[in-house]
Structure 1
Amino acid sequence: MAFLRKTVDGLERWASVMHQYYIVDWVFILFLLCGFLVLTEMTPFRSMFTLDDPSIQHPYAANDRVSSINGVIFSTVIGVGIIVIFVPFLHRNRNWGHVMNVSLLSLALSLLLTEFATEMFKNFIGRIRPDFIARCLPAPGTPLHELVGIEVCTNPNFQVISDGFRSTPSGHTSNAFAGLGWLSAWIAGQLKVFQHGTELFRTMLAILPLFGALIIALSRIEDYRHHITDVLFGGILGALVAWYSYRKFFPHLGKATCNMPFPPPQFTDKTMAESDFYDSLDEMESGTQKAYSD
């Protein structure tokens, strides 16, 4: 029975550590990442189209104004860098390790949950991009006014054609608002911009990431990668997930303690009170000893 008692104590300690450092939540983030990677490899739904549709006759831009790599840098790397650099400074007299861990977890949740949802929508909606005709290079003699499918395309680069069916929602936009929108809320909380008497420059610092997200969103329209409704959809999706991810771990921005995340959950969920459990172990042990004595 002593071995069982030690085992239970050890499991409780590990469970307490997992709760304190949000290990289960980080594992969920890993699953979201795996799901996102699987969705990116899926073939999207291929909508039918007509060659005389002016909304898909825009030119194909070989180079984006904001590349995918730059989008990741703006949405992810900048946020992570700001957290790592400024949290020890802003919370030097407190448990800044907890603040950093929760902040990184909240940002990761916002980004990966948005990416997962974005890729899922892209694959199942299958809306055609504004530059699709230039991607497709339809075969000569293809009817102009009839619905046709991907079989009329002659572009040898199938990846470019397939990506033409992934217009809704805008991934750059949703990711920008998920990362930079979250960062805007985080800065507002850390600098307490909604507290009475807060300097104007703090508010401007909090708003600045939103302008960056907006510029990225507008660049997707200028490159003819997305329709304006795709950008609106992506922006709303990213902003909603960012706000949910932030509020899951941080108080409302109007509170005096908005710069501090919620305390780590305590491991108190037990099917039996600890004293009752150990009493039952003692009864079992005494019963066993009595059986041997008899």
Structure 2
Amino acid sequence: MAWAWRRVGSLLPFHYFHVIFQKGGMNEVELGRHTIKSHGAGLAKNHMHDWLILLLLVVIEVILFIIHPFYRFVGKEMMTDLKYPMKGNTVPIWAVPVYAILLPITVFLLVYLRRRDVYDLHHGILGLLYSVLITAVITDAIKNATGRPRPDFFWRCFPDGFEEYDNLGNVVCHGKEFIIREGYKSFPSGHASWSFAGLGFLSLYLCGKIRVFDRKGHIAKLCIVFLPLLLASLVAVSRVDDYWHHWQDVFAASFLGLIVAAFCYHQFFPPPYDDEGWGPYAYFRALDDMHTNSNSGHPPNGISAQVIEAPTTNFQARPYGNPVFLPEAQVERSPFDDVEFGRR
């Protein structure tokens, strides 16, 4: 059995993905099937501290939303740029989590149904939630610390149009307390930062999955990658059109969201331009462990989904096509390829 296992291990690097993505039903005992049922509980337990910190971020975000912002001095001469009319939100607040969180998770689930890779699903969701929540905490912390008035601040402060100032020239507002408090939360834009944090993460995810930078010149793939960014940009522009934010607010928030999304994405996934950019780091670590076991001549306890969760080799560059959407036949490499690319 040991020699047979080593023989299988030697063939896996070149034929594994061709077998996994061929048409037809796949039994969970076959190679590469590490599902929620077989590995989900262990994976979640291994990242328990990450989920606990995520809950802490939620609590911090709620606190930041409740507390009062800094009430910046607003004099009469400053009202010139703060008299824009009060309007409703083109993009309501409840819609932000829908397109910034639920939409990307839906895409992650569709990819999971195709690949049955719980590593990709778990790390995609965890990275997305961290991207959005870290951005939200930073955004609201800066909002409260800055206390910049919104463009429609005049009508929030003086809903009847009658201005009132104290001896120092600062406004004495007589509008509704909650509306006035929100009037001091212009910088940066929460809609814009959330949008670019969630949809920016999705854009990076898609960029890796469809192999945008595979050096084959299929530039049409960029249209798919730019769609989430276009949606986020339109949301950001709507905040200026609704007079809820100045243009500087949405620009800074968009940049913040993209930066945090990039950091969180690269915590779990290789860069999209990498040869292994289509899968999470954890997936390839599992493949390398499987290859090590196969070379040692000590296969796991039986052929099962729990056992063979990710068989392949630890080559620096794997000659795969698109293992997610466009499976291709694999071509074996010659020893000269290894010499040329510095692997020997």
Shift of 1:52: 3.5
Q: 23, 37, 57: which is aligned to 2:83?
A: 57
2:236 aligned partner? 217
The answer to whether 1:121 aligns with 2:142 is: yes
Q: 155, 159, 168: which is aligned to 1:134?
A: 155
Shift of 1:263: 1.4
Q: Are the aligned partners of 1:50 and 1:145 in contact in 2 as well (CA < 8 Å)?
A: no
1:7 aligned partner? none
Q: Secondary structure at the match of 1:211?
A: helix
Q: Are the aligned partners of 2:64 and 2:140 in contact in 1 as well (CA < 8 Å)?
A: yes
The answer to whether 1:168 aligns with 2:187 is: yes
Mapped to 2, the partners of 1:47 and 1:24 lie a distance apart of: 39
Superposed counterparts of 1:184-195, under 5 Å: 184-195=203-214
Q: 1:154 to 1:252 in 2, by over 3 A?
A: same
Q: 1:143 to 1:111 in 2, by over 3 A?
A: closer
The TM-score normalised by the length of structure 2 is 0.66
Mapped to 2, the partners of 1:174 and 1:45 lie a distance apart of: 20
Shift of 1:220: 0.4
1:148 aligned partner? 170
1:107 aligned partner? 128
1:66 aligned partner? 91
Shift of 1:58: 0.7
The share of aligned pairs that are identical, in percent, is 28
Q: 104, 110, 135: which is aligned to 1:79?
A: 104
Mapped to 2, the partners of 1:20 and 1:140 lie a distance apart of: 59
Q: Secondary structure at the match of 2:215?
A: coil
Q: Secondary structure at the match of 1:179?
A: helix
Aligned residues: 243
Q: Secondary structure at the match of 2:220?
A: helix
Q: Secondary structure at the match of 1:200?
A: coil
Q: Are the aligned partners of 2:164 and 2:173 in contact in 1 as well (CA < 8 Å)?
A: no
Mapped to 2, the partners of 1:153 and 1:118 lie a distance apart of: 25
Q: Secondary structure at the match of 2:132?
A: helix
**Matched residue type, 1:59:** P
Shift of 1:88: 2.4
**Structure with the higher helix share, 1 or 2:** 1
2:59 aligned partner? 34
257-266 or 247-256, larger mean C-alpha shift: 257-266
**Matched residue type, 2:62:** L
Which stretches in structure 1 are left out of the alignment for 5+ residues? 1-15, 267-294
Mapped to 2, the partners of 1:19 and 1:224 lie a distance apart of: 43
Q: Secondary structure at the match of 2:240?
A: helix
Q: Are the aligned partners of 1:44 and 1:162 in contact in 2 as well (CA < 8 Å)?
A: yes
Q: Secondary structure at the match of 1:232?
A: helix
1:159 aligned partner? 178
The TM-score normalised by the length of structure 1 is 0.77
Q: Are the aligned partners of 2:139 and 2:253 in contact in 1 as well (CA < 8 Å)?
A: yes
RMSD between aligned residues: 2.3
Mapped to 1, the partners of 2:248 and 2:212 lie a distance apart of: 32
Q: 1:65 to 1:39 in 2, by over 3 A?
A: same
Shift of 1:113: 0.4
The answer to whether 1:229 aligns with 2:248 is: yes
Shift of 1:84: 1.3
